[in-house]
Amino acid sequence: MSDLKHQLKERLLTARSAVSSFENDASRAVFTGSALAVVLAESASDVSVALAWANSRNIPVSIRGAGTGLVGGATAFDSGLIVSLERMNAIIEISPGDRLATVQPGVITADLDEEAQAHGLFFPPDPASARTCTVGGNIATNAGGLRCVAHGVTSDWVAALTVVLADGRILRTGARTRKNVVGYDLTRLFVGSEGTLGVIVEAVVRLESLPVGTPVTFWAEFDELAAAGAAVTRIVGSQTKPEVLELMDALTVRAIEEAFPSGMRIPRGALLVGQTVGRDAAETAQAILELCRAHGATAAAVAVDDALVEARRMSNPALTARGLKIACDVGVPVSRLAQMFTGVAALAERHALEVASVAHAGDGNLHCKVAAPDTPAGIAAADMLIDDITRLALSLEGTITGEHGIGQVKHHELPWQLDEVAIDVQRSIKLALDPRGTLSPGRAV
């Protein structure tokens, strides 16, 4: 390792006390062993040197941004190298004329959004963890978020990438133009690849103009989750266009209010929280509230500010603090949302376990969390329920993950959704770009 130390100097950490703090992410994946070292990369050159060194020695590499991932994608490998991108956190350029931003991967998502807003623009991808997660991590998992119902997922906003390949070569994909059909769409190939094909060291992302007027936040209470799901289906299928449409069950709302009091009323079944923007924001919000009332809402109104949306962002830490730690992020077609909620409730009763459900309701992405004793038996029981919830989503023409990715936590579920041909094609791509299998081996695909 002396040769790597010579090239990276103080940017290579080898002391056990320093390395250990980089070995885990926010997931329930359990790391055993010890990593060799951490590269605190500050440039594409640093990443290139690190990957070339590891590749030549068949040393596994884990890629780490902010460590907020929930599927074990950034967990270290025993005797492996950790490449940390947290120091690569520069917003290189905001180009208002082109509505583009050029950023390094360690930029915090909310910081990019704030900088863009100073130019009358915004960055549409908006994960609940936007104040802690990074743009690079969002791209690596193709993250969604609260504004997905109106603006889609991260891949819809990535124009070009600079990627370091497993052998240290640097690849540039995409273009700054609106149209570009030259060659294969390598940009989209790397979006969502979870660090298995290369390391993103720079991204050109698209920005959108800030909507005019004041956003309007609204809420609706339902006695039954199924009724709330049916209301969401009707809203999404109507002419209304909410910017945000989030659904929380009673347990989630109670957990948020206990941990981060915000004044939310705890419903019997579910609370739908949304936001509209633009010149007709108030009229759109009222039209959505009428749809909610027509589909069983027991109470519905416009809120005085956006505190409810901010409270929704705290659901994950609130539920974790309450002991609901085992999670999944399945997705179903919006038309099957009511069936999904009914099915989750039935599964929770069958397993005799407490389940909290939060949904990016407008796009059918559910985050279910199960309460489990912190014992091997308790975690195993919760994992069995999570597996059943995942199978339920698939039976409703859904997906095993909407935005968190596969990582190592969900790797066993991969063949539940993909057939042998699909898996073979994806692994062939992995083999072509990383023939020695040093980048995040055994994860994603």
Residue ranges making up the domain that contains 122: 91-209
In this structure, are 220 and 204 located in the same domain? no
pLDDT, position 176: 97
In this structure, are 230 and 176 located in the same domain? no
* Nearest CA among 321, 328, 310 for reference residue 70: 328
Q: What is the mean pLDDT of the chain?
A: 95
Per residue in 85-111, pLDDT tens? 999 999 999 999 999 999 999 999 999
Lowest mean pLDDT among 2-6, 130-134, 192-196, 263-267: 263-267
pTM of this structure: 0.94
CATH of the domain at 221: 3.30.70.2190
Per residue in 6-23, pLDDT tens? 999 999 999 999 999 999
Per cent of the chain over pLDDT 70 is 100
In this structure, are 216 and 204 located in the same domain? no
Q: Model confidence at 426, in pLDDT bands (50, 70, 90)?
A: very high
Mean pLDDT of 306-327: 90
Which of the listed residues 190, 209, 228 is the one where a domain comes to its end? 209
In this structure, are 200 and 114 located in the same domain? yes
In this structure, are 178 and 223 located in the same domain? no
Per residue in 365-404, pLDDT tens? 999 999 988 888 999 999 999 999 999 999 999 999 999 9
CATH of the domain at 190: 3.30.465.10
Quote the DSSP letter at residue 267.
P
Is position 431 within any domain? no
Is position 368 within any domain? no
- Residue 317 carries which side chain, given as an amino acid letter? P
Q: What is the sign, positive or negative, of the torsion defined by CA atoms of 114, 116, 119, 120?
A: negative
Which of the listed residues 168, 186, 209 is the one where a domain comes to its end? 209
Which of the listed residues 209, 227, 257 is the one where a domain comes to its end? 209
Q: How far apart are CA 100 and CA 123, in angstroms?
A: 9
Number of folded domains in the chain? 2
In this structure, are 252 and 195 located in the same domain? no
Long-range CB pairs of 301-305, under 8 A, 24+ apart, other chains included:
301/218, 301/219, 302/216, 302/217, 302/218, 303/217, 303/218, 303/219, 305/217
Q: Model confidence at 28, in pLDDT bands (50, 70, 90)?
A: confident
Is position 278 within any domain? yes
> Does position 236 have pLDDT exceeding 90, yes or no?
yes
pLDDT, position 325: 82
Q: How far apart are CA 300 and CA 286, in angstroms?
A: 9
Q: Where do we find the tokens 């009724």?
A: 227
Is position 381 within any domain? no
Return the structure tokens found at 230: 């049916």
